[in-house]
Chains A and B, each alone.
Chain A
Amino acid sequence: QSVLTQPPSASGTPGQRVTISCSGSSSNIGSDTVNWYQQLPGTAPKLLIYSNNQRPSGVPDRFSGSKSGTSASLAISGLQSEDEADYYCAAWDDSLNGWVFGGGTKLTVL
């Protein structure tokens, strides 16, 4: 059981917009920033969004993040086949004194 809650799966057709939610509590998302990671099949995770809504250099602006209260969301617009991957949210937890991840969302491009 992950501390952060994500839907296990999401899907969309090419060109569509999809969102992935991440729900936490006052000790993690409610008190710290949220980061998102993309993991393509068979590869190491890659930073996708940091500090709730910042994109690292090289990440397309099709990817965006937001946070409100104890929840966060990742939005992907103009869905492409290469976006098919697992997506994880993460935040520092002040009560656990450690990083916590969501269980991951497998995105399928139909």
Chain B
Amino acid sequence: EVQLVESGGGLVQPGGSLRLSCAASGFTFSRDWMSWVRQAPGKGLEWVANIKKDGSEKYYVDSVKGRFTISRDNAKNSLFLQMNSLRDEDTAVYYCAREIGYFDYWGQGTLVTVSS
């Protein structure tokens, strides 16, 4: 059974940093692209970033470029999102998802709240 479990969310002040993790199981993690997708409270889905199976390619939505970094550790079946210079508008539930031309599996999400 495929499982994606996010962790690392919490309350952080504007300008602060947070590192999200996503533990994957039930599939060969190293064979698939992975993505982070977020959802602000009461709003729609927004793709944040993705990373190629070997980590050699990464893409970001414009609003997080230069502030967020996606990475992965295939030996530990883990996906990460390092978030720096956080802004109020980054407040959202962050989901990790397996990407195979579409997002077929999603985690349950972790809430990030940016507030003073």
A interface residues (Cβ-Cβ under 8 A, vs B): 2, 33, 35, 37, 39, 44-47, 50-51, 56, 86, 88, 90, 96-104
Contact = CB atoms under 8 A, between A and B. Distances in A.
B47 A45 contact: no
Interface of B: 35, 37, 44-47, 50, 59-62, 95, 101-109
Given A35-B103, A98-B61, A45 B45 contact: yes
Given A44-B108, A97-B59, A98-B60, A103 B44 contact: yes
Contact of A99 (B44, B50, B104, B106): B50
A59 to B, nearest CB: 11
Contacts, number: 57
SS class, residues of chain B in contact with chain A: strand
A44 B102 contact: no
Q: Interface majority SS on A: helix, strand, loop or mixed?
A: strand
B5 to A, nearest CB: 11
Most buried by B among A33, A88, A97, A98: A98
A101 B46 contact: yes
